[in-house]
Amino acid sequence: MREIQAFNRFQRSMHLHYIHFMVIFFLTGLPQVAPHHFRWLLYFFWVPFAWFSPETTYLSGGMKVAMVLHRLAAVGLLIYAPLFALRELKNMGRWQIWPEGGPGAGIAELIKHYLSFQPGRFGKYNFGQKCLAWLTIVATGIMIVSGCILMFKDAFSPSAWRWARFFHDVGFFVFLVILPIHIYMALHPLNRKGFRAMFETGTLPEDYVKTHHPLWWEKIKSRGGGSMS
């Protein structure tokens, strides 16, 4: 059976590493945002730190380690995200996250797909996935800008870094909301082949694309190719 390329190696690598970054951000960020509820996480960060400074309590030592790991992950994202953006800008017209039809039709197809378990009339991504994609892009931008201000807050006024802290927290909670939705969409029975394509093969069977992504299939046919990542 013919396979259609859905994601190239670079896209799959970025998605995987973005997950790595998010795991570190969540584990190290939750004790900083809500210390009373997630202070127990600091113990795990403090354990290796205690080898070098056994007199330090797990609260202060764990918080120091969490902040260092948080900033190291931020530096990694600051390096990786622009490289990905520059790499993908040349394919901007083929991102497949631009709206197709109105939101009313898109929501109706989502209900059909996720609640009735019937293939919807989607492009490469459905309306919900596109909304999540744009939310992720905007929230990531907010986190990067506000995070840079907080990392170098001595170069900014107290008012600036207080606003940065506010927007950094807002971006963090946006991710708290969209992450479980994204996981549900990825693990939905009708989306399993897409999950496999992202993390294993990078391709989807042609028959699956025709049935589950008819609008995308029409674009593939109009361009006369089988690789439209």
Please give the full DSSP string across 30-56, using - where no structure is assigned: HHHH-HHHHTTHHHHHHHHHHTT-TTS
Residue 55: its pLDDT value, please?
66
pTM of the predicted protein model: 0.81
What pLDDT score does 62 carry?
Answer: 84
Q: Which residue matches tokens 């990531």? A: 140
Torsion angle of the four alpha carbons 8, 10, 12, 13, in this order, in degrees rounded to the nearest 10:
160
Q: What pLDDT score was predicted for residue 225?
A: 56
Q: 115 exposed, middle or buried (CB, 10 Å; 0-12, 13-18, 19+)? A: exposed
Tokens of 69: 């790991």
**What does residue 227 show for φ and ψ, rounded to 5 degrees?**
-125, 100
**pLDDT at residue 93, rounded to an integer:** 65
To which residue do tokens 């600036």 refer? 160
In the chain, which residues have pLDDT < 50? Answer: 228-229
Would you state the pLDDT for residue 47? Answer: 81
Calpha distance 123→188 (Å, rounded) = 17
pLDDT at 85: 81
